[in-house]
Amino acid sequence: MLTDSSQTAVGDFALLGLLQLVSPALPIGAFAWSQGLESAFELGWVNNEEELGEWLEGVLEDGLTRCELPLLARVQQAWADRDASVIAEWNDWLHATRETAELTDEDIRLGAALVRLLGSLELLPDDGLLPESPGYVTLFAWAAHMRRVPARQTLLGFAWAWLENQLAVACKAMPLGHTAAQRLTERLRPKLVMAVDNALQKEDDELGPVLPGLALGSALHETQYSRLFRS
């Protein structure tokens, strides 16, 4: 039985491990991808702070809440159960939901980068558990499991990292001022909590992103003349 001080230490280490995982300094190249947002700027769908907030709320509600977040909870539990077949099944499911080459490439490349990083830290899972072409979400769930991060905090951390990356993209490409970015952070922080609440209640047959605009923008980005980002 853990003492109060032991439980506190485990919680502290888990929190620090999560902060490490969601840090922009994590060397996996996430900063290079805009997830279709650069196209939304180019096409005139997002032109200012208010429209950016609406876009992000839509992606959060119809994308992350229905896809990445509930998947994280499932895969993290599968890692805890050491169930290779379930891990592979959800990893393949996620690849199947990526509607463009760029979105697929992003998930695979970030996953491969996280594999290399975890390998250098001697934190990769045992042979036989890692699926073929593991995606970023799959590896994020493994790293959170290894750090003993509770599932709810794993989802919150992932959503926070997504929001920070999207706002960093906007600051570079809109441009969006840093003060405006902080206003959007304040606006969307409660939405992240609501998204996690909703994601944890989703049944398997309710999963799947509904983001036709993002998919169209991502497809058009492949032929965009001038680009700062890879998606």
Tens digit of each residue's pLDDT, the chain (231 residues)? 444 444 454 588 888 988 988 988 888 888 888 888 999 999 999 999 999 999 999 999 999 999 999 999 999 999 999 999 999 999 999 999 999 999 999 999 999 999 999 999 999 988 789 998 999 999 999 999 999 999 999 999 999 999 999 999 999 988 889 999 999 999 999 999 999 999 999 999 999 999 999 999 888 888 876 767 766
Rounded Cα distance between 94 and 113, Å, is 18
Rounded Cα distance between 136 and 139, Å, is 5
**Could you tell me the domains of the chain?**
34-221 (1.10.4190.10)
Cβ 69 vs Cβ 158: under 8 Å: yes
Amino acid at 192: L
Q: Which residues of 173-192 are buried (b: 16+ CB within 10 A; e: fewer)?
A: bbebeeebbeebeeebeebb
> How far does CA 128 lie from the centroid of its chain?
24
115-to-90, 109, 176, 190, 212 alpha-carbon distances in Å: 17, 10, 33, 32, 30
> How far does CA 55 lie from the centroid of its chain?
16
